[in-house]
Amino acid sequence: MEAIEYNTERKHLILREYGRNVQRMVAYLATIEDQEKRNSYAATLVELMKSINPNVKDVPEYDHKVWDDLFIISGFKLDVKGPYPPPAPEVLVKKPDRVAYKYNKIKFKHYGRSLEILIENATKLTDEQEIKGAVMAIGRLMKSFYQTWNKEEISDQLIMKTIERLSDNHLKMDLGEVTEFKLFDSSRKENFNRNRPRPFHQNKNQNRRPNPNQIKRRR
């Protein structure tokens, strides 16, 4: 009777995604003495490894990766000539390069970095009318941003001072002109609500229940 072989008694499985049979074939490749035959078998085994693990195709340079996996499974002892140079053993312990994140210190986080970029571009303008139009547009945008998160009103003067601070005093307007971009003042709200059509549930004539005494019975 053949004894049962347990996984705990077998050799360590180096790359589990390829399975134990691939690892055995890699070990067999190392025993082939003919160099040309060994290279041919290695290329065939690489194609088999690609079909076993099709997810590797989503990785950039997947062909190079599979050849590297072949050398890793062999413990970097396989002597074959592939299309790529064999990896160094240090590749298993080498840490990836640290990603350099771009850090921008935002002065007013509730306005965001995009608004600061708009102000930077506005400071490069030379035409006075274009500068005025840019300041007006930025001010309206800032007011809409502010009222998205705050119920209270913000004064146009405060918005203008913020624009001056973010632009290092390059963008300035008269406080009298600043009042032109009052888009959310109380008078505009009242006029809007007064002229706005009432929804169905607020229309008294449509929601009023008929008086039974006023309904004439049909004979």
Shared domain check, 122 and 78: no
Print burial letters for 37-59: b (CB count within 10 Å at least 16), e (below 16): ebbebbeebbeebeeebeebeee
Shared domain check, 27 and 83: yes
Shared domain check, 67 and 131: no
Q: Rounded CA gap, 49 and 70, in Å? A: 9
Shared domain check, 63 and 130: no
Residue 122 lies in a domain: yes
Shared domain check, 128 and 85: no
Q: 73-107 pLDDT, tens per residue? A: 999 989 999 899 999 888 788 887 887 776 677 88
Print burial letters for 174-210: b (CB count within 10 Å at least 16), e (below 16): eeeebeebbeeeeeeeeeeeeeeeeeeeeeeeeeeee
Q: 170-190 pLDDT, tens per residue? A: 888 776 666 655 543 444 444
CA 9, 33, 44, 89 dihedral sign is: positive
Residue 193 lies in a domain: no
Shared domain check, 121 and 81: no
Our count of domains for the chain comes to 2
Residue 214 lies in a domain: no
pLDDT at 178: 60
Residue 184 lies in a domain: yes
Domain enclosing residue 119, as ranges = 112-188
At 83, list the tokens.
Answer: 């299309």
**∠ CA 32-54-67, rounded to 5°:** 35
Shared domain check, 61 and 126: no
Residue 195 lies in a domain: no
Shared domain check, 77 and 120: no
Residue 167 lies in a domain: yes
Q: Read off the pLDDT of each residue in 198-208 and give the average, rounded to a whole number.
A: 50
